[in-house]
Structure 1
Amino acid sequence: MFATLAQPFPLGATLCDHGCNFSLHNPDNKNIKLVLFNDNQSPRLISLDNQYGDIHYTFVEGIAEGQVYGYQLEDKDGLRLLLDPYAQALNATPHYVEPFTAEKSWEFAKSVVVKHDFDWQGTTLPQIPREETLLLETHVKGFTKRHPEIDPALRGTYLGLCQPEMIAFFKKHGITTLQLLPVTSCMSEPHLLKMNKVNFWGYNSLCFMAPEPRYALHDAVTEMKTMVRELHRHGIEVIMDIVFNHTAEGGEGGPIFHFKRLISTIIYKTATSITATIPAVVIRWISPTSQA
């Protein structure tokens, strides 16, 4: 009934009243399927029957906020589950034990459908003149993790950074702008995992539009937006540091999460593919990160 609602754009999972549109850039035209996960039920596989150029898409009725999903394809290692590069939330903190095989990909964090109905309560972007800006570059977790005045349950979280005690600190020191080290979902590099360590700073992004789950109590999307809203309410700007020059998939031999099986030759530069031209699909991938 709602098949006509299927659209190639925007890419990713887009929710509406009747269901959700799923769109994926997949130029290699592999036999890829949308996988929907539901509690205590077998995963539901759906073909992406519609095509517009290299974009494959479908509309699924009855999908609600919080739906967990991924994309299945078969490669030389077997059936593999991929994250949606345009995912706006993850259902768990990403972690794996090497080697990250096709079989283990099904146990990894998965993409989540997000509903964008957050109540900004009338707050607006602070308009602070450049000459009056006093910027503090900081880390969401590190700045409050051991702060004695913050509720222990909120230390090291999005919500911890916008507590009244923190607002008072920023105001006392004349700080007008927070530049946050990466808050996009990230993955520790393989050599760190082997040493049972983590990439604390977050400069190894996994899904650029999904906030890092480690900094949330429950819902990273809502809690990060709440942090931004409360900082804006008190006239404090928020700048997000996003690193596009590499991803958590690393180089040759690195783990496979999404791009390497979807648009590897487009998104990654190699010694034989150096060019000054930025493909349109890369621009379409980067641009929405400022709105996610």
Structure 2
Amino acid sequence: MTPTPDRLESGYPYPLGATFDGLGVNFAVFSANADKIELCLFESSGKRQIACLELPECTDEVWHGYLPHAEPGLLYGFRAHGRYEPENGHRFNPNKLLLDPYAKRLAGTLRWNDALHSYSVRSKRQDLSFDRRDSAPAMPKSVVTANAFDWSGDVRPNTPWSDTVIYEAHAKGLTKLLEDVPARQRGTFAALAHPRVIDHLRRVGATALELLPIHSFVQDRRLQEAGLANYWGYNTLSFFAPERRYMATDTGDELRIAIRKLHAAGIEVILDVVYNHTAEGSELGPTFNLRGLDNASYYRLVEGEPRYCVNDTGTGNTLDLSHPRVLQMVIDSLRHWAESYRVDGFRFDLGVTLGRDGNNGFDPRSGFFDVLRQDPVLNQLKLISEPWDIGPGGYQLGHHPPGFAEWNDKFRDATRKFWRGESGMRPEFANRIAGSADLFDRRARRPWASVNFITAHDGQTLRDLVSYEGKHNEANGEDNRDGHSENYSCNWGAEGPSDDPAIEDVRDRVTRSMLTTLMTSLGTPMLLGGDEFGRTQQGNNNAYCQDNEISWFDWSALESERGRKLTAFVGKLTAARRNYPLIGATRFLHGEVEVAPGVLDIDWFDERGEHLSEDDWKNAEGRALTLRRCRRKPDGSLETVTLLMNGSGDTLTFKLPPPELRRTLVIDSADPEAGETEIGTEIEVRDRAVMLVVGTDKETG
């Protein structure tokens, strides 16, 4: 047991957090407005506080102290003394135990009760009142750690963006029902690297596994009281500690081992991270760490009324990344995951919030973007932004700086609308599948900056997109009011499951057509995990609170005939993407380069093989589209990749435009098991189907 002296030594202000040096532990925590901060030590169960020692020094607004002979495994927390003046933005209350913002491991479980609030919840004065109860019994505790994992021999895959195929999944839901995994490991980090998972990822051609949030997060009180759970995890409690619910062994090493095994298989790991807000919620929310340490520094407060939090995130609070210490915390967290866990990239939830310069709106030259772009570790990783929030000017698709990719919801919506047969979609759809140059072709950005997706965790699965006209979120307990109301979905004749072969045939064909669009468009494709074998959420398009069979992957669906065929088809699509570099072109194509006489690098035609005129583009009822891309191969021969897309309800005969080439049909979404076949200049394309045709010089092909 760690000795408990009467006082701490002075220690050092850097690094922040708890740092073990072999002889003891240095503690350092930022607070610009506290009068005093105490380090509280707990016995191994976390139930009893055994010491409370004042941090003796404050350097550059960092409070610090050194505890000799302390070792990893020590449980601790902080108590911050200062003004309790909510009307001025200050909410210090030493009765509340605070987690270390830099804690790399947490022990114990948050137990909801009113003592977690700094104010008396039942007072008529609300947050202007003051609560004197000790919150420690209800709080998890920070744990001193030491990172001794041996990464020697690990090699990052470093997959080029143009070759990247992202597979989005939930760390628990991916394997919770996977019977091949030992029962104790199902739904944990350890299961992510099970041979069955890795084999499946490779079979579908995924090069990167993108995980929904794995930072330690809070189970919302409202959801728990309703018998539900925060499944997605967008409610961060600690930016440095992995979520204990996903651990089989209560140690971060199983995640490190999983990442190392995924790397060995050539698969990158990308983390979905939430730095725009925390689990402390609005000014009426609880006090876990940042609010009690220095509310006025960590959060953006309403100008002129600092009692209230700015809520550009829709969650009650907004982190103030214009503050240098808050920005430092975020960058330190990213570096921790990049270096201690060797993750390969990050997807930033509500990325616009991170680029807000105080209360001045979004700025692509904000401190957050500038620091990431110049950081020698982080700027080598894959950086992806969700380019919107709910604040003023919150939709910023295409406006992020070079080095960032962005989720492209315009691609999602255009693809859904085109394949359900909406009128007037040809021009918009053409823009999206050609890489959305209208959005991204600036400041030397490349097509990979557009992360193309049809479905993601937030919304319907692909199977549900072709099976339900409306949302079915009754299980969420909000009378089906939550979730998007317009999904641009179509049930093709029956709401939900159907035993009508005709309905199922068109559903399967549209599914394959949308997947073909995803994998053959310019940009970075992102596949929602489970879509490759028909995973359903029973029509729920907002399953954030469903930690159960609604959200978990039903791997038995993979063994069904539909599941096997669809998975094989996705593998066929990603193979085509690898085999034909034109599909993942590294530069934008504008139809301004003549690759051969009369043959442009990118060109558009109708089903007759004729160029689309201005009137054709304006024809709202035109639902047939041919996209041809062309290049000179290294040997000098000509190669074309042509997409024949029939969004109408009738079979159409497509004529391929000149020149005369040896043409091979590689993909037909109406006949997924067909092998590659040589074709002539005309070919029938089924209704709501797409074909991929590769052309080569007859002399050299």
Figure out how many residues of one structure are paired with residues of the other and give that number: 290
Using a 3 Å threshold, how does the CA distance of structure 1 residues 190 and 42 change in structure 2: closer, same or farther? Answer: closer
Please give the residue correspondences for 1:31-42 in structure 2 after superposition, counting only pairs within 5 Å: 31-39=36-44
Q: Determine if the alignment matches structure 1 residue 88 to structure 2 residue 104.
A: yes
Q: 2:169 aligns with which of 131, 138, 145?
A: 138
Bigger Cα displacement from structure 2, 223-232 vs 169-178:
223-232
Q: Is the 8 A contact 1:93 1:213 kept in 2?
A: no
- Once the two structures are superposed, residues 3-37 of structure 1 have per-residue CA deviations (whole angstroms, 9 ceiling, x without a partner) of 88821011111111111110011222233210122
Task: Give the Cα–Cα distance (whole angstroms) in 2 for the partners of residues 161 and 213 of structure 1.
Answer: 15
CA contact (8 A) 1:32 1:71 kept: yes
- 3-state DSSP class of the match of 1:250? coil
Residue identity opposite 1:59 in structure 2: Y
Structure 2 residue 63 is matched with structure 1 residue 56: yes
Are 2:217 and 2:234, in contact at CA under 8 Å, matched by a contact in 1? Answer: yes
Whole-angstrom CA distance in 1 between matches of 2:94 and 2:237: 22
Stretches of structure 2 that go unaligned for 5 or more consecutive residues are 1-7, 85-92, 118-132, 311-318, 337-701
Report the 3-state secondary structure (helix = DSSP H, G, I; strand = E; otherwise coil) of the residue aligned with 1:204: coil
Change (3 A) 1:98 1:51: closer
Alignment of 1:173 onto 2:189: no
TM-score scaled by structure 2? Answer: 0.39
Higher RCO by CA contacts (8 Å cutoff, separation 6 or greater): 1
SS in 1 for 2:192: helix
Q: Aligned equivalents of 1:145 and 1:98: distance in 2?
A: 33
Identity fraction in percent = 32
Q: In 1, Cα distance between the equivalents of 2:11 and 2:115?
A: 37
Counterpart-to-counterpart distance in 2, 1:27 and 1:167: 47
Is the CA contact (8 Å cut-off) linking 1:74 and 1:80 kept in structure 2? no
Aligned to 1:114: 145
Q: Pick the aligned partner of 1:230 from 249, 261, 267.
A: 261
| Helix, strand or coil at the partner of 1:45 | strand
CA distance in 1 between counterparts of 2:160 and 2:65 reads 45
Q: Is this contact kept in 2: 1:95–1:187, CA < 8 A?
A: no
Change (3 A) 1:54 1:118: same
Hey, what's the Cα distance between the residues in 1 that align with 2:71 and 2:25? 8
Match of 1:79 in 2: 95
The alignment partner of 2:106 has SS state of coil
Task: Kindly name which structure, 1 or 2, has the bigger radius of gyration based on alpha carbons.
Answer: 2
Kindly indicate whether residue 329 of structure 2 is the aligned counterpart of residue 285 of structure 1.
yes
> In structure 2, how many angstroms separate the alpha carbons of the residues matched to 1:179 and 1:100?
33
Give distance in 1, aligned partners of 2:113 and 2:258: 32
* Aligned partner letter, 1:291: R
Report the counterpart of residue 218 of structure 2 in structure 1. 187
Distance 1:124 1:93 in 2: 36
Match of 2:301 in 1: 270
Distance 1:269 1:104 in 2: 25
Identify if the C-alpha distance between structure 1 residues 39 and 181 changes in structure 2 by more than 3 Å, giving closer, same or farther: closer
User: What displacement does 1:129 show?
Assistant: 0.8
1:203 aligns with 2:234: yes
Corresponding position of 1:255: 286
Tell me by how many angstroms 1:193 deviates.
2.7
Change in CA separation of 1:4 and 1:255 when aligned onto 2, cut-off 3 Å = closer
1:285–1:128: structure 2 CA closer, same or farther, 3 Å change rule? same
CA distance in 2, matches of 1:28, 1:214: 34
Q: Hey, what's the Cα distance between the residues in 2 that align with 1:277 and 1:205?
A: 16
Q: Please state whether the residue corresponding to 1:84 is helix, strand or coil.
A: coil
Evaluate the alpha carbon distance shift between residue 185 and residue 39 of structure 1 in structure 2; reply closer, same or farther with a 3 A threshold.
Answer: closer
CA distance in 1, matches of 2:9, 2:270: 39
Shift of 1:209: 0.6
Residue in 1 that maps onto 2:185: 154
Range with greater deviation from structure 2 (197-206 or 23-32): 23-32
- Residues 82-107 of structure 1: CA deviation (Å, up to 9, x unaligned): 10011111013434245535423333
Deviation at 1:247, TM superposition (A): 0.5
Partner Cα separation in structure 2 for residue 160 and residue 279 of structure 1: 39
- Kindly indicate whether residue 262 of structure 2 is the aligned counterpart of residue 218 of structure 1: no
What is the Cα-based RMSD across aligned positions, in Å? Answer: 2.3
TM-score using structure 1 length: 0.91
Assess if the C-alpha contact under 8 Å between 1:162 and 1:230 holds in 2: yes
**Cα distance in 2 between the residues matched to 1:238 and 1:11:** 26
Q: How much has 1:121 moved relative to structure 2?
A: 4.4
1:213-239 Cα offsets, whole Å, 9 max, x none, are: 000023242222222122112211011
- Distance, in Å, in 1 between the alignment partners of 2:321 and 2:106 is 31
Shift of 1:242: 0.7
In structure 1, give the amino acid aligned to 2:283.
E
Counterpart of 1:22? 27
